[in-house]
Amino acid sequence: MMKIGFIGLGIMGKPMALNLIKAGFSLCVYDIVPSAVKILEDAGAEAAASPREVAENCELILTMLPNSPHVKEVLLGEAGVLEGIRPGTLIVDMSSIDPTASVEMEKEVAKRGGEMLDAPVSGGEPKAIDATLSFMCGGKPEAFERAKPILEKMGASVVLVGGIGSGNMAKLANQIMVACNIAAVSEALVLATKAGVDPESVYHAVRGGLAGSTVLDAKAPMMLSRNFAPGFRIELHIKDLTNAMNAAQAVAMELPVTTLVLGMMKRLQKEGKEKLDHSALVQYYEEIGNVEVRPL
């Protein structure tokens, strides 16, 4: 079985890489955090000293990094992936970044004889752990088919959206929907609480109807239990919505609801809450409503 490179072993990357090892793949890994690398080494992975070393040892490389500058540094920087790739190497960037950055980097990869997919994920840490993530992919169909069997070991849905960059455009659309849904759930539960109605009963009453959603079932229980341990941090959602705003500006479009929700998240960031799960958006409404969402 071929050796797979995996760069980026954070909240999402670590469980994703572990799932590939469980599936029987041989991994060569790199991260700037030694403790994260050690966890993968203990699970059977080989550690590399740089992204270049990963590329020198692997014909398929997966990256899972915070934002566009990090991906560019790993691919294009000193001792980066492009210094070590061979013709035919496939790079699958699973990070959620600006779609234009994916297009730019794919051109550089092609100059070295390699191929690239952008394949951002949705589902957060819980779905990374249980290998049920959703992958939204952009790139050439033949490159997608080559990567798909590997991505399927980490996710329940793997879809080719279109050409390079379209995966990240789909992810931005996803993040808009998620953020606005969380805001709506927060607003509704705070209203119910303020009116003296049990918010937990409201949640159970509406979840089976049209208002029911994956977001509602994932985030309402966290709000009700006051559990804001990060599955997906507010600061990362701010990054995604900022990328969405940039994408909208590029096509001369306004995003009025997204603008409002981004402002709410930035207010929480100023309060030092950027490391909390994005379900903590409920705290914005609790502050203006002077009430806390809890079961009555």
List of long-range contacts for 269-273, beta carbons under 8 Å, 24+ apart:
269/234, 269/235, 269/238, 273/234
Tokens at 124, concatenated: 């957060």
Catalytic member of 127, 171, 219, 239? 171
Told to judge if 111 belongs to the known catalytic residues of this protein, a careful annotator would answer no
CA angle 105, 165, 101 (to 5 degrees): 40
Separation in Å, CA 48 to CA 55, 62, 157, 210, 286: 10, 14, 30, 49, 47
Separation in Å, CA 156 to CA 24, 91, 151, 258: 18, 21, 9, 28
Tokens at 193, concatenated: 């609480």
Is the distance from CB of 259 to CB of 245 less than 8 angstroms? Answer: yes
Count of other CB atoms within 10 angstroms of residue 4: 23
Q: 3-class DSSP state for residue 44?
A: coil
Cα–Cα dist 46/38, whole Å:
10
Is the distance from CB of 60 to CB of 89 less than 8 angstroms? Answer: yes
> 93 pairs with which residues across the strands?
63, 118
Residues labelled catalytic = 171
